[in-house]
Amino acid sequence: MRKILLLLVSILFVGILAACGSDNAETETETTSEGTETDNNNTEEASGISGELEFYTSQPDVDAEQLVAAFNEKYPDVNVNIFRSGTEEVISKINAEKEAGEVQADVLLVADDVTFEALKAEDLLMAYESEEAASIPEEFIDPDNMYYGTKIMATVLAVNTENVSDMPTSWEVLTSEEGADQVVMPSPLYSGAAAYNLGVFTRTDGFGWEFYEGIKANNPMITEGNGAVMENVASGQKNYGMVVDYLVARAVNDGSPVEIVYPEEGVPVITEPIGIMKDTDQEEAAKAFVDFVLSEEGQQLQAEIGYTPIREGVDAPDSMKALGEFEALSAPTEELFQNREADKEQFDELFAN
């Protein structure tokens, strides 16, 4: 009987130890589980944002697709539909939708702030104060938080190095004898960057409309967009192109015989702003998209794609100059906005003859 009692006490003692161990294990499991649960909550918080965004942009198709793919890694439940065209055509589509009674776009990312000023004047944009804007230079943020710059894009000279041995340093090459029948540039009737450049050049001392008249005298090729400009210079069809810098950098990286020249007089700079349309019914997803583009992760992606990021602390690609490393040409935004249509009409009249 005594042995039986000792055996029962031993079993009871082992049971108590096992229970204590179980409690400890349970506590550890709960702690780990809580940690996992917190991570899951974070994931759910991100993926919990769902919806369907209509994203209108003038970015190249492949760049827009990479941006959306990266966004979807963080927000897999947001379906993003991309409409891509030149800035002027994107705005024409928005205006047509407005006339029809309902703008379909939720988020807009196109060439320049002048375009956004026009939308702002028409009360088509929604104010959103993104926390990510704290790392964006104030000069590239709309004072009313209607739009934010997303990158630094300078318009430069692209020069074919197989046909040109003496690299130019000035925009004057486009109006010189060397430029006769050898100039290609985008049309401001299609390209927002070209429309911005037109407004800036014609209001800058040393250029004016005389600059464009000199180009016209050299019988230039006028293309719809910057991509076609780069193709003509890279192929050697034309020696000199007026084009955004990132396209030249990509061509260089791809082995094309081209070189970037930042003319000594200075270069116009656009920032491809992003904004949310006022009548969006996808506000939460739209805000998440804007935040992602401005975030460090989103800006690192811009650099990987080949753009100069606008966010402080994120480096530009090696082959490109950052803001401050070149002279930037500019003109008052309000003046550019008020005169854009008149400028395009005058350009059209000049180059149509």
List pLDDT tens digits, range 96-147: 999 999 999 999 999 999 999 999 999 999 999 999 999 999 999 999 999 9
Beta pairing partners, 308: 152
Mapping DSSP to helix (H, G, I), strand (E, B) and coil, where does residue 277 land? strand
Dist CA 233 CA 239 (whole Å)? 6
pLDDT value at 309 more than 50: yes
pLDDT in tens, 216-237: 999 999 999 999 999 999 999 9
Output the pTM of the full model.
0.80
State yes or no: pLDDT of 32 exceeds 50. Answer: no
pLDDT for 107 equals 98
Place of tokens 């702690």: 31
Look up residue 186 and give its amino acid.
P
Write down the pLDDT at residue 33.
31
Amino acid identity at 329: L
Residue with tokens 């990987």: 304
Average pLDDT over residues 57-78: 96
Distance CA 94, CA 59 (A): 16
pLDDT at 288 over 70: yes
What is the pLDDT, as a whole number, of residue 319?
A: 78
With a pLDDT cut of 70, the percent of the chain lying above it is 87
pLDDT of residue 318: 83
b/e 262-290 (16+ beta carbons within 10 angstroms → b): bbebbbbbbbbbbbbbeebebeebbbbbb
> Mean pLDDT of all residues in the chain?
88
Nearest residue to 314 (alpha-carbon basis) of 56, 91, 135: 135
- Torsion region of 272: left, alpha or beta (phi above 0 gives left; psi -120 to 50 gives alpha): left
For the segment 44-69, the average pLDDT, to the nearest whole number, is 89
Report pLDDT for 23: 40
Q: Please provide residue 159's backbone torsions phi and psi, each rounded to the nearest 5 degrees.
A: -125, 135
pLDDT recorded at residue 34: 34
Q: Is pLDDT at 14 greater than 80 in this prediction? A: no
Q: What is the DSSP letter of 311?
A: S
Strands, DSSP E only, in 204-336?
Answer: 221-223, 240-244, 258-261, 267-270, 274-277, 308-309, 328-329
Average pLDDT over residues 275-294: 98
How many other CB atoms are there within 10 angstroms of residue 330's CB atom? 15
For the chain, how big is the Rg over CA atoms in Å? Answer: 28
**What's the average model confidence in pLDDT over 48-67?**
96
Phi, psi of 256 (to 5 degrees): -70, 150
Which of the pair, 36 or 295, is modelled with greater confidence? 295
